[in-house]
Structure formats: structure tokens, C-alpha cells
Amino acid sequence: MAPTHKTPFALILAELAISTTTVTLLSLMYPLEFRSRLWENGGEQGWNSNPNKRIYYYANHQEPPEVPLIWSQRLYTSNLAIAILGLVVFFARTAMSHLRYLPRYVNNIYDAILLALWAVSIAGQTSSDFTDPEHPSPHPWYLTRGCSAAWDRTQGYCQIAQASFAMSVVAAILYGARLIREAMLIAYEKGQRHQSRWPAQDVQEVESMAGVYMDEEGESEAESTTKEDWQSMALSPVLAFFPSSDNRW
């Protein structure tokens, strides 16, 4: 089984809070009425294209411009799907971690996928509306102008849209921080393993150096003994008749 690791409890609580909050907010934004009111508010104020003018295209038997991504239903559907996926992944890996069956690489794959999905969601939530050349909108009006400029009946929708965007950014930061934390832990563990190998290598090097030193010392002592023996034999021919002895008289 692949090695597992324990996630800090504070990080688990943070992910749970962010996941549940994003699902709640994006569920409120999912109905068609939500985006229609925001789109209409901006169109009547001249901040973006006006959805009420699209009826003139149908009256003149003309094809209306494509609905901008920021006001399309597929954006709200995809955002809600990403939030639900994040919540499902949270419960799944919490259960797997409790059972000690969550490999580290699987955890990192989850974080990388969710980070990429939330990055795409953020890009969609800040997309433009250029379908009306007279009223171009590089970004949604509720992010650039604030909710104070909105109609009274639209301010609640505006605040929910702002909160949803903020939580999407927080979710992306969360999964990015998890990946950075894992990268730092992997680097630290590799450094620890590298340091633990050094003492064994040092001992082997010291032993090998000591062996070489002892061999050289032994050879030098043998050579010096041989030289002394030859010198004692060559001192005088008289010593040949008186062999050396340890006995003293």
C-alpha cells in the first residue's frame, strides 16, 4: 500500500467551510432569474448589453448575438458542478484518510484538478460582454462598480454574486496552498533522507582511510626492521663468531 500522511485538522475544517459555502452560494445563483436580473440591471444602466433588446432581432427575423458567457446558463451550471465536485472530493478523501488508504500522489492529483477547475471558473466569472459595441463590458458590472450602483431589488443578487466570486478565489487559493504545502513537505523529507545517509558514508570513508594508513604503517615498519637486520650483520666480521644473545653476564 502506498504511504499515507495526516492532514492538519485546521486545514480539514477550512476546506469543509469553503466547500459548503461555495455550494450554497452557487446554488443560489443557479436559477435563470438570478442571471437575468443582473444582466437586465447592467443593460438598462448601459454597463453591458441589454437582454430586453434581443426581442427586436426576433421581430426582424434576425439571428441575435450569442449570449455572453458571463450571462449564460452553462457558466452557472459549470460553477455549481465544480463546487459540488469539491465537496464530494472532500468527503471522499476524508473517509479514505481516516481509513489510512489515501496515497499522497492521489491527494495531490485531487488538489491539482480542483485548482485548475476553479481557475477556469474564475476566468469565466470575470469574462467580458462585447455583444453590444455601444456598451462594451470587459468585466461584470457588479465586480467593477459594486452593489451600491445597483437597483434596490437587485442589490441582494449583486451581493451574492460578489460573495460567490470571492469564495471561488478563496477555493483556488486553498487548493494552491495545499499543493505548495505538499511540495515543501516532499522537499523537506528528501533533505532529511539525504542527511541521514551522510553519517554512514562518513564512517565508511574513515574506516577505509584508517585501513590504508595501517597498511602503509605496517609496510614501513617491516622495511625498517629489515634494514636494521642487514646493518647489524654488516657491522664487523668478528661478530660472526659471537652470535647475539639476550643473555647477559
Average pLDDT over every residue of 193-217: 58
Query: Is residue 29 situated within a structural domain?
Result: yes
Report how far residue 49's alpha carbon sits from residue 206's, in angstroms, rounded to the nearest whole number.
Answer: 79
Provide the whole-model pTM: 0.75
pLDDT of res. 198 = 60
Query: Is residue 223 situated within a structural domain?
Result: no
User: For the chain, what is the largest distance between any 2 Cα atoms, rounded to a whole number of angstroms?
Assistant: 144
Please, what is the angle between helix 155-233 and helix 32-45, to 10°? 100
Q: Which domain holds residue 136?
A: 9-198
Total of domains in the chain: 1
Model confidence at 89: pLDDT above 60: yes
Query: Is residue 61 situated within a structural domain?
Result: yes
Report how far residue 121's alpha carbon sits from residue 82's, in angstroms, rounded to the nearest whole number.
Answer: 8
19 half-sphere exposure, CB direction, 13 A CA radius: 20
Query: Is residue 244 situated within a structural domain?
Result: no
Model confidence at 16: pLDDT above 90: yes
- pLDDT, one tens digit per residue, over 98-118 is 888 888 888 999 999 999 999
- pLDDT, one tens digit per residue, over 60-81 is 888 889 999 999 999 999 999 9
- pLDDT, one tens digit per residue, over 152-167 is 999 999 999 999 999 9
Query: Is residue 212 situated within a structural domain?
Result: no
- pLDDT, one tens digit per residue, over 109-144 is 999 999 999 999 999 999 999 999 999 999 999 999
Query: Is residue 209 situated within a structural domain?
Result: no
Grid cell in block for residue 27: 446554488
Q: What Cα–Cα distance (Å) separates residue 57 from each residue in 90, 129, 141?
A: 46, 18, 24
Query: Is residue 205 situated within a structural domain?
Result: no
Query: Is residue 230 situated within a structural domain?
Result: no
Report CA Rg, the chain. Answer: 40
